Amino acid sequence: MEDTSYDAIVVGSGPGGASCATLLQKRGIRTLIVEKNDFVGGKMVSIEKDGYAYDLFPHGQVPMRGSQFEAIFDELGVRDEFEPALEPDDDRDIIKIAYRKRGWDEYRFTVQGQAMADPTPFFKLWDMDTEAEQKVLAFMTGLVTMPEEEIDRLDDLTMHEYLIEQDVPFELYSYLAFHANASLAEPIDLVSASEQVRIMRQMMLQGGGGQYKGGFGTLAKVMIREFEKNGGTMITNARVEKIVIENGAATGVVTAQGTFRAPIVVSSAGIQPTVLKLVGEEHFDRSYANYVKGLVPGWAFTSVRYFLDKPVMDVAMYVAYADESWIDMERFIRMKEGHIPDEVILFMVNHSFYDEKAAPPGKQVLVSGTICSPDPDAKEIEGLWKVMDKQMQRFFPEIWAATERREYAGPREISSLTRDAVLPGQGGECVGLGQVVGQCGRDKPSVTAPIRGLYYAGTDAGAAGMGTHQATLSGTEVARLVGHELRRRQKMQ
């Protein structure tokens, strides 16, 4: 089968691909989506199984108010279907935070609303003196009021370097080291300070950590439904094996279901898989191929899903960290050498809080995760599951007796469902390319490939922020550029 009737082909239907394709089609550009899975949404997928409903990967939106999804739903004319499960200003205590300071035997706890603008509960949790509190307050105020140019300057600093420069109290450093792991899946001594500051600000000003009615997967389903309603074509179970390059330009894709042709190909399969596998590095300048090979992947999360015959958690989200449990490069290297830590950070989500139908009556599904390497073959993952199980029992002593079934997942599952491993140690990334110094802000890879008609959409290119929001910002930017390029080509004909 060979088809030439498209203006654009989009590889992948995660938030990057789906947002780009649905905007292109809405703007009258005839678009084909080619998706390797038999479901849409990429990592942003919601599952319904055995009476339970839960999300496999993304669990918390940042920002809750003013995310790029809102803008896309507006343009599609389906604003009424944009339904956060919690309003950003919902004043219930939603997030429980457990913290153990070095030297404390036990964890101490606090609870917070969704928009984490008030530091007072942290002051109590961290057990700080007044001088330290004043320093934290000054730092947080500075963060909220920081001009954009100042944030741009932070592209070149790791968060660790920035916090040392600012001389913040250790309690705040420790929390932000945990935050780098939990919200960006990065270590504090690699993550770009500009990226972390932007996310922190959004959490404080626009809310963070919320969910959507029907789960994150609903967002992808609505975008794809509108895409098809507007005349777009989607094929699933169709892995793109090759992106066709002719006379230095992208002209189509080859799949087991046939070859499809279009003057524009947008890949959301990731820059490294696109350049090194789908196109082939021989089509690129050697320096560009080397640049792509040298890009640093983000880290991953490994999860345990607990299917419980009675509820054990009463908040929406529960996070736990200790001064010894967040991972920086030194601790990561120790873990790689085989020293599995006794304690890990935990990020736990209770879907029933958002949606009472998320579990059969009287039951509960909890998803718990911790940071890990993106390597699908990482040896430490099973060791981490054991520590996570042990820690879950520490926080919920009744969980073991209540567990009907557990599911374990890690970078191998993430890679097989979404992103091909084309370089050693890469494939299971949460966000895509690492949000690290040298790859963020002005150094973020461009959405335009150095091949005519080839673009990258998704978290690898062109945008900043938390995973799904960043992917849709990138998809939106690519849709704008593709519109320009097609109009320019038309004028030249």
Chain positions contacting ligand FAD, by CB under 6 A? 11-17, 34-37, 42-44, 57-61, 239-240, 268-269, 301, 303, 369, 414, 418-420, 430-432, 458-459, 466-469, 471
Q: Is 132 exposed, middle or buried (CB count within 10 Å of its CB: 0-12, 13-18, 19+)?
A: middle
Q: What's the Cα-to-Cα distance from 414 to each of 204, 228, 268, 301, 366, rounded to whole Å? A: 30, 27, 15, 9, 19
In the complex, minimum distance from the CB of residue 290 to ligand FAD, in angstroms, rounded to a whole number: 23
Nearer to ligand FAD, 177 or 471 (CB): 471
Please say which residue, 163 or 418, places its beta carbon nearer to ligand FAD: 418
Pick the closest to residue 200 from 189, 212, 191 (CA basis).
191
Q: Which is nearer to ligand FAD, 69 or 99 (CB)?
A: 69
| Helix axis angle, 193-206 to 170-184, nearest 10° | 90
Smallest distance, ligand FAD to C-beta of residue 465, A: 8
Closer of 141 and 237 to ligand FAD (Cβ): 237
Cα dihedral 369, 372, 375, 380, rounded to 10, equals: -100
Reduce the DSSP state of residue 207 to 3 states and report it.
coil
> Quick one: 128 or 185, whose CB is closer to ligand FAD?
185
Minimum gap (Å) between residue 455 Cβ and ligand FAD: 13
Beta-ladder partners of 436: 191
Q: What minimum distance in Å lies between the beta carbon of 431 and ligand FAD?
A: 4
Q: How far apart, in whole angstroms, are the C-alpha atoms of residue 418 and residue 154?
A: 31
- CA distances to 160, 161, 163, 439 from 192, rounded to whole Å, are 9, 10, 12, 8
Q: How far is the CB of 418 from ligand FAD (least distance, A)?
A: 4
Indicate the residue among 115 and 163 with the shorter CB distance to ligand FAD. 115
The SS3 of residue 326 is coil
Q: In the bound complex, what is the minimum distance in angstroms from residue 49's beta carbon to ligand FAD?
A: 18
Q: Least separation, in Å, of the C-beta of 61 and ligand FAD?
A: 6
Q: What's the rounded Cα separation, in Å, for the pair 29 and 280?
A: 27
Q: Rounded to the nearest whole angstrom, what is the least distance from the CB of residue 461 to ligand FAD in the complex?
A: 9
| Closest to ligand FAD by CB, 128 or 461 | 461
- Other CB atoms closer than 10 Å to residue 490's CB: what's the count? 8
Of 304, 324, 422, nearest to 374 by C-alpha is: 422
Return the structure tokens found at 14: 């995660």
Q: Taking Cα atoms as reference points, which of 290, 243, 302 lies closest to residue 11?
A: 243
Q: Name the residue nearer to ligand FAD (CB basis): 239 or 452.
A: 239
Q: State the minimum distance, in angstroms, from the CB of residue 336 to ligand FAD.
A: 20
- Residue 160 vs 419, nearer CB to ligand FAD: 419
291: left (phi over 0), alpha (psi -120 to 50) or beta: alpha
Q: How far apart are CA 311 and CA 361, in angstroms?
A: 10
